[in-house]
Structure 1
Amino acid sequence: MAAKQEQVKVLGKWPSPFSNRVELALKLKGISYVYSEQDLSNKSLELLSSNPVHKMVPVLIHNGIPISESLVIVEYIDETWKSNPFLPPHPFHRASARFWSKVVDDKCLPALWNAIWCDEKGREKAVEEAMEALKILENEIGDRRFFGGDEIGLVDISANFVGYWVDILQGIAGLQLLASEKFPKLYKWSQEFKTHPIVKQALPPREELFAFFKSRTA
């Protein structure tokens, strides 16, 4: 008897690094999926029923069951499909990866986003906080190829905004946050990350992403 075919669907928004985390995780696992672009100004019934609490993307729908929140989804993907694991086997190292993923979300992303989009009045302080956040990641990556070691892991997927979006957005804002002379180890990681053959397939086109965010400054 033939095995039942998995049904995997992603509700997302193409410029969103959070949606991209989910697509990246699925591609790294080699899982086929259907992608549904969502209009967040006119939310679909599917999105509202799949994520009734936050009513936001991304949502993974696996065999009819919805899972929300990007990091929760990435861990779900890792636990459901065992090949190419994102988390290490030892409990301490797994806890450490989860901790650093939270640091990325709770400390680094807000600081970087604020530095890029804040007004001139608060720019100096915001940039200082963004640089502090990048320094934390610089110290953590050390001399490893990826945060997960030789292969991409949970923290690398979590830090996709740092690895790809920051370079584009800092150009729009006229800033230089992540630069090789300031953060050589983290910059090297960002190059390894965005040129990884599978990651490269999963990332939105640079020119389109630049145009999308540039239009927000008009």
Structure 2
Amino acid sequence: MAGEKQQQQQPEAELVLLDFWVSPFGQRCRIALAEKGLAYEYSEQELLGAKSDLLLRSNPVHKKVPVLLHGGRPVCESLVILAYLDEAFPDSYALLPSDPYARARARFWAAYTDKVYEAGTRLWKLKGDARAQARDEIVRVLGNLDAELGDKKFFGGDVFGLVDVALVPFVPWLPSYERYGELSVEETAPRLPAWARRCAERESVAKTLYPPEKVDEFITLLKKVYGIE
């Protein structure tokens, strides 16, 4: 599996990201940190086995990644972390626009992107009517995102921002969703593929995301772990 485990110890760096190599939610944080030019220590976590004491102490409620430690203080949940980075480091690259209404729209659509992963997960976990319902949902969600993108370069216009950072880590998962759901992203959301290519030209994205083949291997591993045929 990609990503080497690091020893779990109390970190000393100002910023430490507790993460898992293929987590799209952790990848959001890695992309944001790269865009902002913020140095941080990466701490690979075990999610399919015993979780580290550091992770359990840092996120006792959900016990999951990502967690950002800033001066030893934990910030949990990817979208909360992205907003925190904007507020804690205001002189770095801004993920959110300055206009209050535009900020509100960005927050809305960033949260909406989670539905891609939620519906996609049900595609490979479930069968029959439940899978069909998940297929209908992801088609609807992708269609709504495509409509919101419209003819813009990025979701916020010409600037790569919060919604792009939130959505782009799901792109390598889409080929697997297409196969399990027997759907076509290009037909469902015809403007998203070109948007994804534009995002991939950014160094922050290119260095963070894994190829769809690696993601598909991980989904196959998850199916074995959960006993799904």
When normalised by structure 1's length, the TM-score is 0.87
2:103 aligns to what? 94
Q: Secondary structure at the match of 2:93?
A: coil
Q: Secondary structure at the match of 1:36?
A: strand
Structure 1 residue 158 displacement after superposition: 1.3
After superposition, what is the alpha-carbon deviation per residue over 1:167-217, rounded to whole angstroms, capped at 9, x for unaligned? 3x22552633412x3321122212222332321011134443232222334
1:174/1:91 CA distance change after superposition, 3 Å? closer
1:182 aligns to what? 188
Determine whether 1:196 maps to 2:217.
no
2:3 aligns to what? none
Partners of 1:211 and 1:46 lie apart in 2 by 28
Matches within 5 A, 1:34-73: 34-40=41-47, 41-73=49-81
- Letter paired with 1:26: L
Which one of 67, 73, 85 corresponds to residue 94 of structure 2? Answer: 85
Q: CA RMSD in A?
A: 2.1
Partners of 2:54 and 2:13 lie apart in 1 by 19
Which one of 11, 18, 24 corresponds to residue 17 of structure 1? Answer: 24
The number of residues matched between the two structures is: 211
Instruction: Check whether the contact 2:156–2:163 (CA below 8 A) recurs between aligned residues.
Output: yes
Partners of 2:52 and 2:182 lie apart in 1 by 37
1:201/1:148 CA distance change after superposition, 3 Å? same
1:210/1:125 CA distance change after superposition, 3 Å? closer
- Letter paired with 2:71: N
1:118/1:177 CA distance change after superposition, 3 Å? farther
Aligned identity (percent) is 39
Partners of 1:137 and 1:143 lie apart in 2 by 12
Q: Which residues of structure 2 form unaligned runs of 5+? A: 1-11, 225-229
Which one of 18, 24, 27 corresponds to residue 34 of structure 2? Answer: 27
Partners of 1:149 and 1:188 lie apart in 2 by 14
Q: Secondary structure at the match of 2:185?
A: coil
2:159 aligns to what? 151
Tell me which moved more, 74-83 or 136-145.
74-83
When normalised by structure 2's length, the TM-score is 0.83
Structure 1 residue 134 displacement after superposition: 0.8
1:10/1:122 CA distance change after superposition, 3 Å? same
Q: Which residues of structure 1 form unaligned runs of 5+? A: none
1:208/1:162 CA distance change after superposition, 3 Å? closer
Partners of 1:184 and 1:211 lie apart in 2 by 26
1:141 aligns to what? 149
- Letter paired with 1:209: V
Structure 1 residue 116 displacement after superposition: 3.8
Instruction: Check whether the contact 1:8–1:33 (CA below 8 A) recurs between aligned residues.
Output: yes
Which one of 192, 209, 218 corresponds to residue 212 of structure 1? Answer: 218
1:110 aligns to what? 118
Partners of 1:13 and 1:6 lie apart in 2 by 18
